[in-house]
Amino acid sequence: MKTTKSGYRRPASLTKAPMHYCAGCGHSTAHKLLAEVLDELEISERTIGVAPVGCAVLAYFYLKCDIAEAAHGRTPAVATGIKRALPDRIVFSYQGDGDLAAIGLAETIHAANRGEQITVVFINNTVYGMTGGQMAPTTLVGQVTATSPSGRESATMGGPLRMCELLNTLDQPYYIERVALDSHAGVLATKKALRTAFQAQVEGRGYSFVEILSACPTYFHRSPLESLKFVGGEMAKQFPVRIFRKEGVALHA
């Protein structure tokens, strides 16, 4: 790690490339934390990531490990293929809510249900960032997006999918946690969750899933600061932040 003048330390697994994410975007923080965990567990040289189609499609510019790019939503299936071919490598997918919970929901559920030995990092920002702020499966009821111009209405558009809760009904997953990038404490908790998830894979324990509630100021149509409040407030109310499964055992709220 190198310390810059401001005291910020860039993890070795993070490249120097300036990130293209908008100001206040949760992807930037999530990338840094992920890189720190790869450093701390000393696994970056045997890790293969699978980038989604979404704003994080360019993750290979930022993370210093091997990265493949999957077709939209097929991310966990690609990760499955890699892990089955190279079982001693560390394999993760990094996905947005559109990629993971809409077009790739089947792949998400079946990879979890098979207990694939992979880590899924799920960035839930309630919108499709890359395509211009359309409704996502996790969009809150009433939230206005490009394709729910009068606000999401559950009677015809469904309600927000709670992915941790859904996956927690399956037998195979080993570790499931939801965290929020809404504050300093949230950042620390996110780092800890990622570390636990990757540690589980290093030890060959099974499937691990970390959902990160994350800001998209651009399509929340709020300032970065207001966006953090939205993440910790309305979003966390809909998506409770907690550990759902630990060491293969479902924890009930």
Partner 1 sequence: MKGAVTVESKRVLMTGNEAAAEAAIRAGCQCYFGYPITPQNELIAYMAKHMPAHGRVFIQAESELAAISMVFGASLAGARAMTSSSSPGISLKQEGISYLAGCQLPAVIINVQRGGPGLGNIDPAQGDYFQATKGGGHGDYHIIVLAPASVQEMHDMTFQAFDLADQYRIPVMILADGRVGQMMEPIRLQEGPAPIPPAKPWALTGAKGRAPQCIRSLFLEEGALEKHNLALQECYRRIAAADTKLEETHTADCEWLIAAWGTCGRIGKGAVQKARAQGIKAGLIRPLTLWPFPYERLARLGAQVKALLVVEMNCGQMLEDVRLAVNGATPVHFSGYPGGRVPTVSDVFNALTALVRQ
Ligand X SMILES: Cc1ncc(C[n+]2csc(CCOP(=O)(O)OP(=O)(O)O)c2C)c(N)n1
Binding track, positions 7-46, relative to ligand X; x by CB under 6 A: ----------------------------------------
Using CB distances below 5 to 8 A depending on partner kind, what does residue 147 bind out of ligand SF4, ligand X, partner 1, none?
partner 1
Pairwise CA distance, residues 10 & 138, whole Å:
32
Residue 184 C-beta: closest distance to ligand X, Å: 23
Binding track, positions 47-76, relative to ligand SF4; x by CB under 6 A: --------x---------------------
The residue to which tokens 């792949």 are assigned = 107
Q: Is 90 left (phi over 0), alpha (psi -120 to 50) or beta?
A: beta
Pairwise CA distance, residues 188 & 247, whole Å:
21
By rule CB under 6 A, what count of residues binds ligand SF4? 11
By CB under 8 A, name the binding residues for partner 1: 53, 57, 69, 71-73, 98, 102-103, 105, 128, 130-132, 134-135, 137, 146-150, 156-157
Ranges within 9-48 binding ligand SF4 (CB under 6 A): 21-22, 25, 27
Q: Are 217 and 22 in contact (CB under 8 A)?
A: yes
Per-residue burial over 96-108, b if 16 or more Cβ lie within 10 Å, else e, is: bbbbbbbbbbebb
Using CB distances below 5 to 8 A depending on partner kind, what does residue 97 bind out of ligand X, ligand SF4, partner 1, none?
ligand X
Q: Are 178 and 209 in contact (CB under 8 A)?
A: no
Q: Which residues pair with 179 in a beta bridge?
A: 212
Pairwise CA distance, residues 47 & 44, whole Å:
5
Structure tokens at 175: 């570790």
107 is a site residue for ligand X (CB under 6 A): no
Give residues in contact with ligand X (CB under 6 A): 52-56, 72, 96-99, 123, 125, 127-131, 136
